Structure 1
Amino acid sequence: MKANHLLLASAAFLLLAGPARAEWSSCLSGLRHTAAGAGVSQQTIASATDGLEPNDAVSFMDKQPEFTTPVWDYVAGLVDEERVEEGQAMLHKYGQALHAAESRYGVDPATVVAVWGVESDFGKSFGKRPVVQSLATLACEAPRRNDYWRKEFVAALKILDGGDIRAEEFMGSWAGAFGHTQFMPSTFLGTAVDLDGDGRRNIASSAADSLGSTANFLRKSGWRSGEHWGFEVRLPESYSGPTGRGHKQPMSFWESRGISRLDGGGLGGGSAGLMLPAGRNGPAFLVTKNFDAIYAYNAAESYALAICVLSDRLRGRPGIQTPWPTDDPGLSRAERRELQGLLVRAGYDVGDADGVIGTKTKEAIADYQGRVGLPRNGRASLKVLKALRGG
């Protein structure tokens, strides 16, 4: 009976897998045809796609932290003392390349290094998935934006065909972003530069090329040299005026409505939009066109804010001063590692205590929260950490 059951199960699997495999093969064939029509050589197409199988990229589509995480958690994990100290070291180490990038593209070093820190932790976290495989998977199996993923797939093959990036180093995120500053392939083709002068635009192995390419991207996205991204402001208690980063007005407009800098000073010149990332009870910011240029890198306000605040910290300025509207703040990476270590001591399997809050850690947190009477949401927060410290 066991052998019969195994045969039946195998037959059922093949019946289910057959149509899916046929659809994959048909889609991949179409992608190859499109790439050839775009001028990619047959040698590159064959090398990149022969035997290619789908990966798990689709499962990450609705889990991007900048859209699913409270803004105070998101910023706390990206702008911490570790990243500030390392970023300041990078400013010194790559000073020559950053100066060259600023001279050519007009973007200050602190902003470029802040993008680098948020995108890949200064080159330590590129992503481990083959870019071509991820983009083929998304082009064929994603529930939406398939045309976009097809375009990026073809762009990825063009990069390989051009020789700027070698196949073995063409690794990235689930969405196909790669390199020190995580460019999508089409962004690379239109924006990447050879800042180190070796004849290749290689953001996978050259930090200098990555920094120059990022500065070029921001310039093309509307960066205004010499203008700041914005600053934190104080709202009058009765404020009920317009909000939104897209609602740009002269600074005099905001001053007439009782808005001031945190120190009570004037707002200066230029124009800005009023951004309230956590509502009227949280920090408020007046943001300029340069904030919008950073937002163009990844269309999420929490993402752009983290980069802007990190850039200020790299300049020696303070971070966000107004408390977030929560009684349970987010954790730095050091605190997240401590939390994971304490969970391990409490008997949970969370994998490596690396500060990355993955599925195992979330499940362990949720179970622990249930045990100690906290809301069972799996969130790595100060209340959970304090409970673990005292347990």
Structure 2
Amino acid sequence: MLTTIARILPRRRFSFLLPLTGLLTSLALPSLAQTADQAAATRGFAECKQRLQAQAIAAGVSPETATDVMARVEHLDRVIELDRRQPEFTTTFADYLNRRVNEDRISTGRKMLRAHQDLLQRVTDETGVPAPYLMAFWGLETNFGSYFGKMSVPSSLTTLACDPRRSSFFTTQLIAALRIIDEGAIPADQMEGSWAGAMGHVQFMPTVFLKHAVDADGDGRRDLWNSLPDALMSAGRFLQSMGWDGDYRWGREVLLPDNFDYSLADGRRLPLQQWRELGITDAFGKPLAQEPIKAKLVVPAGHRGPAFLAYHNFNVIMGWNRSEFYAIAVGHLADRIAGAGGLQNPPPEDAPTLSRDNIINLQEALQARGFDSGTPDGILGPATRSAIRQFQASAGLVADGYPGDVVLDRLNIAGNQ
């Protein structure tokens, strides 16, 4: 159209058309480049699918299943987006716990405890895991089966397996998922779960499914989506395999004496009697029972928040999810479902929320003052907590290793409320 106009109209009046034509051409170039990139990405994904299909068949998946499922797999951009996303702010313990252990979830857990009493008793008899813990895992993982995730597991896992960041791990998970489909546990088009491939009532990854899922209802299939007996018995078997101790609970809230040495909250496990001798009591101020068990001290929100003595089963829970916040939430929710009250010392809700950049600044500030926090990485790990304790001690503060407002102010680190 621009060429036609240029022929009809005098050049001197419409000389702007030539620059405009060049501008339009330059604007079109990125679009062409993007199209070429997209075409290359599509070819690369198709080639990756072929490689994964061949690997699955070599690993024992039937050619029919591997071919059929992989032909329908799609690249999910949303999965890569979620995998790349790092939380801008770390969650405070108060926010984490209050979102997960709330009155609605406690009430629903108690109703489910009564509704599935016979099934839960059977799982407890066979695995040693008490019913309230099974309800707590179920409640935290899928809100008692109300939400499993809507992502196609084969497509999610293929997308992640074809991405270089964690290709090996997700290739293993994909092949496991294909084996699950191959055994007839669930049709491929019904295998939905989280963006990372966790599935069913209790959100098992495919490799965990293959190793620990069981057919508890006797229908010939291990179905963690549609069979609650299969799901809860599988959860019990998984916890049992990690060494669940049916004689003891997960841990308990405790009270610490004044001037307590918080360096003891470094993961070491001491006999309960030794904690008792150090002045620790139960949450109501009564002496700890004299039982032959070891525990570690966990102080997730510093000296202003609750303290817990965590037993062996706490570590078992962390075998399910490597977060101490998660393990405390499971244990506390189980206690509440069983009828216990809330924490005697709830976590402070005004604690600062720190971004990864905030934590890096904190680590650098500690290093500058001679307190070794390790390589600044934005992770509040043991080395950083140790450095905070040393700084707190030098400044005459409670040396709990927690980056509260006073620590941040002294180091000129801006936090977020």
Q: 1:276 to 1:82 in 2, by over 3 A?
A: same
Q: Given the alignment of the two structures, is residue 236 of structure 1 paired with residue 257 of structure 2, yes or no?
A: yes
What's the counterpart of residue 169 of structure 1?
190
What's the counterpart of residue 195 of structure 1?
216
What's the counterpart of residue 270 of structure 2?
249
CA distance in structure 1 between the aligned counterparts of 2:177 and 2:315, rounded to whole angstroms: 27
What's the counterpart of residue 141 of structure 2?
119
CA distance in structure 1 between the aligned counterparts of 2:45 and 2:84, rounded to whole angstroms: 22
In the alignment, which of 93, 104, 109 is matched to residue 131 of structure 2? 109
Q: Percent identity?
A: 39
What's the counterpart of residue 159 of structure 1?
180
Q: Give the total of aligned pairs.
A: 332
Q: What amino acid is the match of 1:298?
A: N
Cα drift, residue 299 of structure 1: 0.9
Cα drift, residue 245 of structure 1: 7.3
What's the counterpart of residue 353 of structure 1?
none
Q: Which residues of 2 match residues 39-118 of structure 1 at below 5 A? A: 39-55=60-76, 56-61=78-83, 68-118=90-140
CA distance in structure 2 between the aligned counterparts of 1:167 and 1:287, rounded to whole angstroms: 41
CA distance in structure 1 between the aligned counterparts of 2:270 and 2:212, rounded to whole angstroms: 30
Cα drift, residue 45 of structure 1: 0.9
Unaligned runs of 5+ in 1: 331-374, 380-391
Q: What amino acid is the match of 1:276?
A: V
What's the counterpart of residue 205 of structure 1?
226
Instruction: Classify the secondary structure of the residue corresponding to 1:141.
Output: coil
Q: What amino acid is the match of 1:114?
A: A
Task: Give TM-score scaled by structure 2 length.
Answer: 0.75
Cα drift, residue 301 of structure 1: 0.9
Cα drift, residue 175 of structure 1: 0.8
What's the counterpart of residue 304 of structure 1?
327
Cα drift, residue 266 of structure 1: 2.3
Retained in 1: the 8 A contact 2:93–2:301?
A: yes
Task: Give TM-score scaled by structure 1 length.
Answer: 0.79
Q: Which residues of 2 match residues 208-219 of structure 1 at below 5 A? A: 208-219=229-240
Cα drift, residue 46 of structure 1: 1.5
Q: Given the alignment of the two structures, is residue 319 of structure 1 paired with residue 352 of structure 2, yes or no?
A: no
Unaligned runs of 5+ in 2: 1-20, 354-413
Instruction: Give a deviation string over 1:314-363, Cα, whole Å, max 9, x none.
Output: 01001222131333799xxxxxxxxxxxxxxxxxxxxxxxxxxxxxxxxx
Instruction: Classify the secondary structure of the residue corresponding to 1:50.
Output: helix
Largest Rg, 1 or 2? 2
Q: What amino acid is the match of 1:205?
A: N
Alignment RMSD: 2.4
Instruction: Give a deviation string over 1:8-40, Cα, whole Å, max 9, x none.
Output: 454222222233223322322221121111100
Retained in 2: the 8 A contact 1:83–1:117?
A: yes
CA distance in structure 2 between the aligned counterparts of 1:376 and 1:25, rounded to whole angstroms: 46
Retained in 2: the 8 A contact 1:294–1:304?
A: yes
Instruction: Classify the secondary structure of the residue corresponding to 2:158.
Output: helix
Q: What amino acid is the match of 1:100?
A: R
Q: What amino acid is the match of 1:146?
A: S
Cα drift, residue 296 of structure 1: 0.9
